[in-house]
Amino acid sequence: MINIREALAADLPAILEIYNDAILNTTAVYDYEPHTLSMRQQWFQAKRQQGFPVFVATENDVIVGFSSIGPFRAWEAYKFSVENSIYVKDGCRGKGIGKLLLAPLIDAAKQLKLHTIIAGIDATNEVSIRLHAQFGFEEVAYFKQVGYKFNRWLDLVFMQLIINER
């Protein structure tokens, strides 16, 4: 059984392992170099200071995924817009973990009285695009060749969910 809970500082090594695998082996993160534990600790502290949640998915007490929301852009006028992130451990994908991690992000955004969630997704990541569409996200932008990784140009899709019409 897969459980979702808020992340703890003790979860950061497992979160780091999942994130670094995404950097090194996928186009889910447009970065080249693995992050350090110190970088993940700073990231986690920033989430806490900003009041944004980080969730983990566990299976038999092993962390198999994590999700979070954070600022979409740094300027003040964007304060009601956030970007989401969902990562699932290699070997655990296809079990519905992403679905379990996305739902509490939407709930948290509603509780925080945010207006919209934006997802930046590699255009070849059909699984993530379908996942977000299941929750009502719509494609609002398609950027051609904005990233370069694994010796090829990458396209980026922006999907958006308006969660509070006010």
Domain boundaries, the chain: 2-162
Specify the pLDDT at position 143.
98
Provide the 3-class DSSP secondary structure of residue 115. coil
Residue 109 corresponds to which tokens in the numbers above? 């955004």
Indicate whether 91 pLDDT > 90.
yes
pLDDT tens-digit readout, 8-52: 999 999 999 999 999 999 999 999 999 999 999 999 999 999 999
Nearest of 8, 121, 130, 21 to residue 58 by alpha carbon:
8
The pLDDT-based confidence of 139 (bands split at 50, 70, 90) is: very high
Task: Kindly state the percentage of the chain with pLDDT values over 90.
Answer: 98
Backbone angles phi, psi at 28, to 5 degrees: -70, -25
CATH level 3 topology of 2-162: Aminopeptidase (3.40.630)
* Band (115; pLDDT cuts 50, 70, 90): very high
Local structure of residue 95 (DSSP, 8 states): S
Give the mean pLDDT of the chain.
97
User: What is each CA distance from 12 to 49, 65, 143, in whole angstroms?
Assistant: 16, 11, 32
**DSSP element (H, E) containing 150:** none
- Determine how β-strand 81-88 pairs with β-strand 116-122: parallel
For the cut 70, the answer to whether the pLDDT of residue 59 exceeds it is: yes
35/53 Cα distance (integer angstroms): 20
pLDDT reported for residue 166: 62
